[in-house]
Amino acid sequence: MKGEASTSGEPGAPPADGFIPLCVPEIRGNEWKYVKECLDTNWVSSVGSFVDRFERDLAARVGAQHAVAVVNGTAALHVALLVAGVRPDDEVLVSTLTFIAPANAIRYVGAWPVFVDAEPDYWQMDPQKAVDFLERGCRWANGELRNRVTQRRVTAIIPVHILGHPVDMDPILAVARKYGLSVIEDATESLGAQYKGRCAGRIGDIGCFSFNGNKLITTGGGGMLVTDNAAWAQRAKYLTTQAKDNPVEFVHGAIGFNYRLTNVQAAMGCAQLELIDEYIAAKRRIAATYAEALHAVPGLTPLCEAPWAFSIYWMSGVLVDERQYGMESRDLLRRLEAAKIQARPLWQPGHLSPVHRGAPATDCTVAEQLQQQALSLPSSVGLTESQQLRVLRAVLTVGADARRAGTSCKA
């Protein structure tokens, strides 16, 4: 039903009249042309020149030697863990304050997540807490690092660059090198972001991207894995194409997956990638406008960029301090919803998720507080000035009214 889809605010759904969605795709380049080329030539499935080109172009964009296109970001994480050699019953450190996909991918390979808190300034994995866990919570014996409590082997770390901003990677890389851990970057939300001049996804051993409908660039659904390790890239390609040893005789050398991106999706990806710099500039402009208008509002703290970071501001985030702003984040969320403006809280932290109950975790109090206070505001590449003005007016008015009401109640 048309009306239902248009008001859902789901990634990729067209917005209803007057509704300002959180984050929807921007399609204004060569998408039609390239997709038509696939249809005209009958190259619509999981091989074709656009798949190869999308892999090549994305590898070049982030500075990686190899890229393997897959059906989505979750599949990229799953395969990254497999090629990095993570085994059943291993433990893998992962950010607690993120979407559930990386923690689930750890379970797909039979390993266990260890949830690491966020730092309060940029909301990313706290590198110090990761290091403390590995140095104090684990012991090194016989060439292996084991969790002192569970006795399980720790073999990898997944720093997740959330909301378009990179994690502070140096301390994580140093401790990973010390103990021989693989670093798998979840850069699904941060294509184009940089850490000290290096692209997110290219800092560790392997990087994963998503082209879901709400991401910076989209293929409807899609993902990519990048690495400089030729053997890993080859293995990833093999596993994502059903591990065919002999495609004519249907001989398979491993349990593979049907994870390849189609040529039609890749065609869209190629067109989207051509405009990525414009999209990033738009996201940064939107974030700067929010920051300028909101940082003077009592109780609001817009998410900003670390001195060592280049953020793509995939989402513009803001912290809401109830005591100063006049109402809590979820009340503001509801007030915005009533004004046909879609905002969203962050995710339930992984260590609180019922599906990962009992998983080891560092102290995660910062992530819990961020989850209570943070909201993402409308951040589509195509957000117009007048739409953003409407969002800002709503946020300013709702807070001012709440503070006035609070004051008059107290008086």
Where on the chain is the footprint of ligand PLP (CB under 6 A)? 72-74, 98-99, 101-102, 160, 186, 188-189, 210, 212, 223
Beta carbon of residue 216, minimum distance to ligand PLP (angstroms, whole number):
11
Beta carbon of residue 251, minimum distance to ligand PLP (angstroms, whole number):
30
The region, left, alpha or beta by phi > 0 then psi within -120 to 50, assigned to residue 143 is left
Which lies closer to ligand PLP via its Cβ, residue 79 or residue 332? 79
Nearest Cα residue to 232 out of 204, 193, 210: 204
Beta carbon of residue 388, minimum distance to ligand PLP (angstroms, whole number):
23
Which lies closer to ligand PLP via its Cβ, residue 263 or residue 265? 265
Beta carbon of residue 73, minimum distance to ligand PLP (angstroms, whole number):
3
83 HSE (CA, 13 A, CB side): 31
Beta carbon of residue 70, minimum distance to ligand PLP (angstroms, whole number):
9
- Asked if 187 and 193 touch (Cβ cutoff 8 Å), the reply is yes
Beta carbon of residue 202, minimum distance to ligand PLP (angstroms, whole number):
17
Which lies closer to ligand PLP via its Cβ, residue 155 or residue 190? 190
* Joined tokens for residue 278: 């414009």
Rounded Cα distance, 198 and 219, in Å = 25
Q: Which residue is nearest to ligand PLP (CB)?
A: 73
Q: How far from the centroid of its chain's Cα atoms is residue 80's Cα?
A: 15
Nearest Cα residue to 153 out of 360, 362, 363: 360
Rounded Cα distance, 73 and 92, in Å = 18
Beta carbon of residue 188, minimum distance to ligand PLP (angstroms, whole number):
4
Q: Compute the radius of gyration of the chain from its Cα atoms.
A: 22
Amino acid in the structure at residue 360? P
Which lies closer to ligand PLP via its Cβ, residue 315 or residue 327? 315
- CB count, 10 Å around CB of 30? 16
- CA 109 to each of CA 35, 85, 91: distance values in angstroms, whole numbers, following the listed order: 35, 10, 11
Which lies closer to ligand PLP via its Cβ, residue 145 or residue 156? 156
Beta carbon of residue 159, minimum distance to ligand PLP (angstroms, whole number):
11
Which lies closer to ligand PLP via its Cβ, residue 98 or residue 155? 98
Which lies closer to ligand PLP via its Cβ, residue 175 or residue 346? 346
Which lies closer to ligand PLP via its Cβ, residue 294 or residue 367? 367
Q: CB within 8 A of 202, min separation 6: which ones?
A: 62, 63, 64, 185, 226
